[in-house]
Each structure stands twice: as structure tokens, then as C-alpha cells.
Amino acid sequence: MDRNYDLSDPTDLDLLKSDFEVYSPDEWQEMIDYSLSEGNKRLLSYDERGCLMTARKKALYNNHPSPRQMVWALKIADKVEEAKKQS
């Protein structure tokens, strides 16, 4: 999915938050587990995996990371979903 948000536009920020809330903490954990499984360890960098862990923690407590972190987490989620489709 092409995710382009204008972080200075309140409408885009609301859209970003709703897109972030689509994923539950369990789904974030599944992405982390998938990226750590054998054969997928090179899929994500250490920082990208850390971003997913932050997203999971924030989702667990019904909180939102910064808008930039949400954009990054959603792009990583897209990357993981694409890798799952290919395998």
C-alpha cells in the first residue's frame, strides 16, 4: 500500500492514526516474530525491528507513537506483509 501522509494536515494525521490502529498488539508481535524466524532475519534491520517493538508497546497501551514513527512502522508493516505474500 502506498502510504503518503502530510504530517502538517490534521486530516492526514487522523487517517494515519486510524491506519495505525488497524494493527493490534498481537499483529505487531506476529510481524516481529516473522522477522526473527529462520530465513527472515535479514528482512529487517535492528532499527526497523525496534520500531515494530515500539509500535507494539504503544498499541498495547492504546497510545500512539509520534507521527513519524507511525509512518515508519506502517511502511515496515507493508514490507513484512509483502514478504509474507512472496513466501
Model pLDDT for residues 13-40, shown as the tens digit of each residue: 999 999 999 999 999 999 999 999 998 9
pLDDT confidence of residue 87:
78
Contact by Cβ (8 Å): 75, 4: no
Does 4 fall in a domain?
A: no
Q: Is residue 2 part of a domain?
A: no
Residue range 6-15: mean pLDDT, rounded: 94
Q: Give the predicted TM-score (pTM) of the model.
A: 0.92
Q: List the grid coordinates of 31.
A: 510481524
Dihedral angle over CA of 26, 14, 67, 41, nearest 10: 30
Range of the domain at 41: 10-86
Query: Phi and psi for 6 in degrees, rounded to 5?
Result: -95, 105
pLDDT at site 1: 61
What pLDDT digit, counting tens, does each position of 45-84 carry?
999 999 999 999 999 999 999 999 999 999 999 999 999 9
| Domain count of the fold of the chain | 1
**Neighbour tally for 14: CB within 10 Å:** 10
Instruction: State residue 2's pLDDT score.
Output: 65
